[in-house]
């Protein structure tokens, strides 16, 4: 697979097979992704991998926290601005509605929509979960570099025949996950990522999100 194919074929996979992924495969992916750039070569990322019994323990721990505290913990990160405006609001709406159409869950069926959202906390069935954290001294620049690293993981995984889904859904459970992972007070959890083999028979994995054309987000200054 060349880079262009990897970029264009990577999608957010939301149903995985239980086919195991080895620690060696994970190490290989991380060994590729560590070549992502970062300003000053700070390499500000930290990755925490849960797999095997570790993954199952994490899923159980979070399940318990959801039962005890269904509304979630006070989030440190606003995943979206409180009043998301157009055109961004419309884009979010479109991808969400397309996904629920594929899942055949209408707008009124709130319990079914919530159940789908809760699948995030089982990594959509993926055998591996990754969590990304960053030292609290860092600001937006280093957070952007962390994002480049995450995309590098997703692309390396695609090259090796594996699928991923980045998951900010963990933000309202960050406290529970941070405690589970043993993060120090100076480390902030950002995001999770499910990783495994895609269930190609699952309808939800037929979702292909749209993109705006180049001229909508680019300014060329030529003279």
Residues that bind ligand FMN (CB under 6 A): 11-12, 14, 95, 120, 165-169, 191, 209
21 or 205: whose CB is closer to ligand FMN? 205
23 or 77: whose CB is closer to ligand FMN? 77
Q: Least distance from C-beta 221 to ligand FMN, angstroms?
A: 29
57 or 206: whose CB is closer to ligand FMN? 206
71 or 221: whose CB is closer to ligand FMN? 71
Residue number closest to ligand FMN, CB atom: 169
Q: Least distance from C-beta 112 to ligand FMN, angstroms?
A: 15
Quick one: which H or E segment has residue 89?
A: helix 88-102
Quick one: which H or E segment has residue 91?
A: helix 88-102
Q: Least distance from C-beta 33 to ligand FMN, angstroms?
A: 15
3-state secondary structure of 18: coil
Q: Least distance from C-beta 11 to ligand FMN, angstroms?
A: 4
127 or 173: whose CB is closer to ligand FMN? 173
Q: How far is CA 41 from the centre of its chain?
A: 24
Q: How many other C-beta atoms lie within 10 A of the C-beta of residue 174?
A: 23
Return the exposure string of 203-220: e unless at least 16 CB atoms fall within 10 Å of the residue's CB, then b: ebbebeeeeeeeeeeeee
Distances (CA, A) of 59 to 37, 55, 62: 32, 6, 5
The number of C-alpha atoms within 13 Å of 103 and in the hemisphere containing its C-beta is 21
Q: Least distance from C-beta 95 to ligand FMN, angstroms?
A: 4
């Amino acid at each position: 697979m060349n880079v262009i194919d990897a970029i264009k074929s990577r999608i957010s996979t939301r149903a995985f097979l239980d086919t195991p992924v080895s620690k060696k495969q994970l190490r290989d992916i991380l060994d590729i992704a560590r070549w992502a750039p970062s300003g000053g070569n700070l390499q500000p990322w930290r990755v925490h991998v849960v797999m095997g019994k570790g993954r199952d323990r994490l899923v159980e721990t979070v399940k318990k926290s959801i039962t005890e505290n269904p509304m979630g913990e006070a989030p440190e990160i606003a995943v979206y601005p409180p009043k998301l405006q157009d055109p961004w609001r419309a884009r979010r709406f479109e991808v969400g509605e397309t996904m629920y159409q594929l899942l055949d869950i209408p707008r009124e069926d709130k319990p079914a929509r919530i159940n789908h959202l809760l699948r995030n906390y089982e990594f959509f069935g993926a055998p591996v979960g990754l969590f990304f954290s960053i030292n609290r001294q860092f600001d937006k620049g280093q957070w952007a570099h962390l994002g480049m690293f995450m995309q590098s993981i997703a692309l390396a995984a695609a090259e090796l025949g594996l699928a991923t889904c980045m998951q900010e859904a963990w933000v309202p459970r960050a406290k529970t996950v941070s405690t589970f992972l043993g993060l120090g007070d100076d480390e902030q959890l950002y995001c999770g990522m499910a990783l495994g083999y895609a269930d190609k028979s699952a309808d939800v994995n037929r979702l292909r999100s749209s993109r705006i054309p180049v001229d909508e987000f680019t300014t060329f200054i030529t003279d």
